[in-house]
Structure formats: structure tokens, C-alpha cells
Structure 1
Amino acid sequence: MKYDEDKLSSAIKSGDISRINYLYGDERFLVKTYTDRLLDTTIGKDRNDINLTKLGSTFPVDVLTDSIESMPLFSDKKVVLISDLDMEKFDENAIETILSSFKDIPDECTVIISITGSSEQIKKAKNKKLITALSKQKNAAVCEFTHLTPARVTELIMKKAAKRGCVISRPNAQHIAELTLCDLSLSSAETDKLCSYVGTGEITAEMIDKLTIKQLDTSIYSLAAELTKGNRKQALLILDDLIAQKIDPIVILASLSSNYIDFYRAKAAQSTGKSASLVAEDFGYAKNRTFVVTKAMNLVSRLDMTHIRNCLDILFNADHLLKTSAINGRTVLEETIVKLSPEKSRRAYY
């Protein structure tokens, strides 16, 4: 059966856990969190427990069937934990055996399949076949953890800080969420670091900017934002920092171009009276990136569409130069930044 996060959480709290649990999705932090919660509820916190069998992405099929069918030792429960199961690695006979073994799991056994690897793996035919089969089984719980919205990540940051005895305002918690691109693993680690720094007290915006590790996309977004405001000097300082980190100029330009595509979409939406949420939906932005559209719409209010189109032309030409000429990558990027400034872009081309 298909579960959402709330239903899975309720099942764990009540102890009404399905015989087989398949956890996957883009939000790998939650996959790991709920895997640990299932393990804690079934066999306790000892990950070396004699009644815990650990299997990897591939294994001899008879090892799985024996692990499921064998009786627990000195306990009434046992768990088979399969990490990053990849059905693509098994032949058809093995797949049928695996599917058959999952249909009749003894009451004393719980199978947990935890997928924290590449999301592309799930899209392959044999893995999709397993998910479809388990979704129809009454003894199974299939739970996909999609990206959380910025608002939800903000709430979790505030709760985590409060649990550590710290105070953080909603705007500052949202700032952490945006700096970490709403990645729960990153936002959790950064919140822990800030709480350790503060001890007990308030986490301020100054502390966040000083201590939070800037993600590449966040840094380049800041660069693009400074350009929309006409702050070339600050944009060049950000570029200098990125170059010092030895970030490939092509990667920097690609991310910068992505921001300007967001700006173009936001401006087009503004001119037709469309909302940020509709833009995010129409262009398939992930839940954890919807804030990008909202911020883009705020930034482009001072720009006209001709300027943004010119910027896209400038970025296209810069990309061509980086990939086809021997010109120093830093030089290309610096010239591009100057040309992207509002008062320059209408007439600046390579």
C-alpha cells in the first residue's frame, strides 16, 4: 500500500508496522530518518543486533529468503534491512523469487528497503515493477519522500533550534532554508552548528551569514541578484571567491544562466499577471525550489524584458566563448558580469 509521511509516522508510533517497508524519494534525509525510526521500534537502537540482517544493492536470492524465513534468536522480532536495492542487477527468475518472498513474510520479521542512492535508479523498469507490486500488497508500506516546501523546512529549523534551547525568528530560519537550498540534511547540520555556536540564545542573521556554508547555487544566485541591483563591484567580489574555490568557469556560467532563465520566466509572468506558484507549477520547479520564483519576481520588478533578453544573449555568447576559445575563463566571466549590468546590457555583446 502507498503511505505518506504522516501515515508512516502514525504506524511507527502505534507499533502497527507493515511486514515490508519500501522508503525512497528525493529527500534522502527523511528516508534515513524513517529507516532509523523503523529500526528503533522493531529491534532497538543496537545496529549490530543479532536479529538484524543487512543486505546491499545485490545479493544471492537464497540469502534473502533464508533471512526472511529463519526464526529470531532470543527475541520475538527480527529485521532484514536492504540498502539501495537495485532490481536491475537481478535476472527475471531472481526477481520472481524476490517478489514471491515479499508476499508472505512471517509476523516476526520486518523487511525494510531503504533507497538513499541515485533517484535515477528508481526510474528503471525493474525497480518500478517492484514499487508497483508492493504498492498493491496489504502487507507493504511504500512511502516516497519528496522535497519539502521552504515553509516546511523553515518550520523544522525553528523546531530544531527550540529543542536545542535556542531562539530563531521565522525570517532567519527561512534564510537558512534558502542558503541550504531547502536540503534537510544540510539545513539540519547548519542549524546544529549555529546552535552549538550560540549555546542558548538567539541565532541572528549576522551569525547565519558568517557561519553558514554557502552552496554553489546560493552564491551564484547572490551574484545574479547583485547584478540586477547594478552592484557590479559586489558581483565581482562573489566571482572572485568562486574562482578562489577553483569552481569551473563553465559551471559558474551555467548556474548564472539558469538564474537569468528564472528571471525571464518571472518577468514574463509579471507582465501577464501570473503568480509565482503558477510559474513554479508550469515549469516543474521542485517543491524545495519554489522560493526561487518568488525571489526572482521581486528582483525583476525593476528590470524590463528587453534587458533580460539581452542578458540571455550575452550569457549565450559567453558560453560559446568558454567552450570554443582559448580565452582565460576568468576574463570571460568578468567581462560578462560587466556587460550584464543594467546600464550596459542593452548594447554590450561579444
Structure 2
Amino acid sequence: MNYLIYGEDRGRIQKEIQKIVKDNMSNDVKPDTITYNMATTSLEEILADAQTIPFFTEHKIIVAQNCSFLSAANEGSQNTESLEAYLEHPMLTTTLILSGNFEKVDKRKKIVKTIQKTCRVISCSTLDEQGKRAQVIQTLKASQLKLSDEELNHLVSLLPCDSAIIENELAKLIAYPDTLNMRVIDLLITRQIEDDVFALADAIMKGREKQVFKIWNDLNALNKEPIFMISVLASQFRFYYQVKTLLVSGLNENDITQELKAHPYRVKLSVKAVGAVSCDQLLKVLAMLADTDQKIKSGLLDKQLGFELFLIHCKGVFA
């Protein structure tokens, strides 16, 4: 059996590959596993290896990463006729895994149609909030870890929608020798600054001043400098402005993802976030950030006072 494993969730892709390797073990002996990067390797070289009998084991697995020539974004190009021929008549001693970090395959392509007919296709899309919660519960249950509903909800709120990061963070809880509680969870789980920045920007645009200052106070307690926060917020609002401009011009979510070469999940969240705001409002915030940054760096404003004044003045922009 050969495979195509694709999607935006790198962690889930890697777990699927590891599962295939485990399923192909014989007498507790792992098959030879060879990994190629399609960005630097030709299909001909990979297929030549696939058609070679393994020397030291009964079976071998070849992983071809970054198969962007299969994506709907049409990134990269390969002569796929030899791959089509191989998939129609594959080596029984080789499992070929084609993988790539893209949202969709181009189902119009002949090679994709051949893959769908001859391979098992596994889509690893980014987790949503429900999927994130399900993964956390499943992992905790498998490790026989029990949390109260309050502790579970708090843990889920701290984790991003990234399966690889979730597994790494939960591994710390699983290894903890004593009883878990809210304090231990806060100590062990690494807060994701990207999530905090998104939550802060979202609260700013919704005019939720109490929530804005709660998030900022939490970040301040973690020693996040006002200058750093100005920088990351400026980056976030620039991205919002780009997304909003493209939406106004008539592009859809997929078009925006390709145009900005951004992560599909980030674009999806941003499209939702900017739905009720205008380009002018976003530009106003960017101008305020630039002005605050300049005044702090020139010594005209205390950095903490300056940043907090910016947060207060934002309420007037989105009133």
C-alpha cells in the first residue's frame, strides 16, 4: 500500500507516517525508512530507490516530503508520468509515502487522479477548537491522567491548535510525578505568544477594554516588553489590513492564502476577525502603533505608560 498524506498540520502528518512505519514492522524489526525532500530531489531518483529491493530487511519505506507539485496552489513542477506508471505497478517490498504541507490537492491533475485510485489518501487539516479538545482528552485518557472539568478547560485554553505542540506540552504533564492542579498546569505549559497576540488584537477590535488589559497584564507578568508587544501587534494588524484589503477586492479565503503565502488557518481566523472592521480602522491602529513606538524610542513616553495609553485610545477607533 502506498500513501498520500497532506495538510497544514505537520504534527499529524508525522504521526501518520510513524503509524505506517509501526504497522510495517516484522518480528519487532523496523523496516528501512528513507526520507527525501522533493524540493531538492527528482522523482526519478526517488522512484529508482523505490524499485530497488531492500538489502537488510523484508520491507522498506520511502517518504517523499514537500510534494508541492500535487497541491491546488500549483507550486513546483515534476515530470509525473514515471510516478503514475510506478503507482499502477508498484514494488511489493516498498511502501511509498508522498507528503506535503498544503491545504488541498489539485484533483484536476492526472497524477492526483492516479494517486486517488491507487493509494490511501490521508488529509491532516489543522485542528479546530473541538478537535484540539478531543486530542487533549484522548491523550490524557491514554496516559490515565485525570483532571477536573475546570482544570481541563484551563489546559485546553492554554494550548494552540497544533497537534505536535499539544503532544509535546502534554508530555510534560504526563511526566510530572505529583498531583496535577491549576498551578502546576500554569507552571508546566508554555504559553503560545501567537495565541495571546491574536486574542489581544481580537479584544482590541471588539472594544473589550477589560479583556484587553487582562491579556496585557498576563503578558506583562511574563516579562513581555511593551516595545516587543508593539512590534508583534503591528505585524498582526498589518496582516489584518492585507487580508481586509484582499477581501474588499473580491478574493476568497483560498485566494488570500495563496496571495499572501500564509498558513491557511491563520488566514481563516483573520478573515473572521476583520469581518466587522474597516480598512481605515486598521490603518488608524497601525498609525497609532508607529507613533507610540517612535515616542517611546525617542524618550518622550515611558514605555509601559505609552503602550497602555495606546490600548486605551484603541477603544475610540472601534467604538
TM-score by length of 1: 0.62
| Identity value in percent | 15
**Equivalent-residue separation in structure 2 for 1:127 and 1:333 (angstroms):** 51
| SS of the residue 2:210 aligns to | coil
Give yes or no for contact 1:56–1:82 (8 Å, CA) kept in 2: yes
1:291-347, Cα deviation, whole Å (9 max, x unpaired): xx8xx9xxxxxxxxxxx979x976542302445884337576432212245xxx389
Residue 113 of structure 1 aligns to a residue whose secondary structure is: strand
Instruction: For 2:61 and 2:55, locate their aligned partners in 1 and report how far apart those are by CA, in whole Å.
Output: 12
Corresponding residue to 1:327 among 283, 295, 307? 295
Match of 2:12 in 1: 30
| CA distance in 2 between partners of 1:211 and 1:114 (Å) | 33
| Displacement of 1:221 | 5.2
Name the SS of the counterpart of 2:81 in structure 1: helix
The answer to whether the 8 A contact 1:217-1:255 is kept is no
Mapping 1:9-24, distance limit 5 Å: 18=1, 20-24=2-6
| Letter in structure 1 aligned against 2:41 | F
Cα separation, 2, equivalents of 1:79 and 1:127 = 28
Partner of 2:129: 150
Following the alignment from structure 1 to structure 2, what is the Cα–Cα distance between the partners of residues 53 and 309? 49
- 1:173 and 2:152 equivalent? yes
Deviation at 1:31, TM superposition (A): 0.7
Per-residue CA deviation, residues 252-301 of structure 1 (Å, 9 max, x unaligned), is 24547999xxxxxxxxxxxxxxxxxxxxxxxx9959x88xx8xx9xxxxx
Match of 2:210 among 203, 226, 230: 230
Distance 2:113 2:227 in 1: 44
Q: Which of residues 318, 335, 347 is equivalent to 2:285?
A: 318
Matches within 5 A, 1:156-235: 156-197=135-176, 199=177, 201=179, 203-220=180-197, 223=200, 228=208, 230=210, 234=214
Any unmatched runs of 5+ in structure 2? Answer: 70-74, 241-256, 258-263, 298-302
- Give the letter for the 2:133 counterpart: T
- What are the equivalent positions in structure 2 for 1:236-251 lying under 5 Å apart? 236-238=216-218, 240=220, 241=222, 243-244=224-225, 247=228, 249-251=230-232
TM-score calculated relative to the size of structure 2: 0.67
Are the structure 2 counterparts of residues 247 and 126 from structure 1 closer, same or farther at C-alpha, using a change threshold of 3 Å? farther
- Report deviation, 1:172: 3.0
2:95 alignment counterpart: 110
| CA spacing shift, 1:31–1:207, aligned 2, 3 Å | same
Deviation at 1:174, TM superposition (A): 3.7
1:77 matched residue in structure 2 = 59
Whether contact under 8 Å (2:63, 2:97) holds in the other structure is yes
Distance across 1 between alignment mates of 2:140 and 2:196 = 25
* Cα separation, 1, equivalents of 2:85 and 2:166: 40
Q: Tell me if structure 1 keeps the 8 A contact 2:11–2:164.
A: yes
Q: Give unpaired runs (5+ residues) of structure 1.
A: 1-17, 260-283, 297-307
Task: Measure the CA separation in 1 of the matches of 2:294 and 2:153.
Answer: 42
C-alpha RMSD of matched pairs (Å): 4.4
- Counterpart residue type for residue 82 of structure 2: T
SS at match of 1:166: coil
Q: Please tell me the residue identity of whatever aligns with 2:296.
A: N
**Counterpart residue type for residue 295 of structure 2:** I
> Following the alignment from structure 2 to structure 1, what is the Cα–Cα distance between the partners of residues 313 and 58?
70
Moved more, 31-40 or 204-213: 204-213
What secondary structure sits across from 1:59 in the alignment?
coil
CA contact 2:50–2:91 (8 Å) conserved in 1:
yes
Residue 36 of structure 1: CA displacement?
A: 0.6
Aligned partners of 2:238 and 2:78: how far apart in 1? 43
Q: Is the 8 A contact 2:132 2:156 kept in 1?
A: yes
Per the alignment, do residues 96 and 334 of structure 1 end up closer, same or farther by CA in structure 2, a change over 3 Å counting? same
Distance in 2 (CA, whole Å) between partners of 1:218 and 1:107 is: 45
Q: CA deviation at 1:167?
A: 1.2
Aligned to 1:339: 313
Q: Are 2:9 and 2:162, in contact at CA under 8 Å, matched by a contact in 1?
A: yes
Q: What is the 5 A alignment of 1:113-128?
A: 113-115=98-100, 118-119=101-102
For residue 317 of structure 1, give the secondary structure of its aligned residue in structure 2.
helix
Q: CA separation in 2, counterparts of 1:211 and 1:89?
A: 41
- Tell me what 1:59 maps to: 41
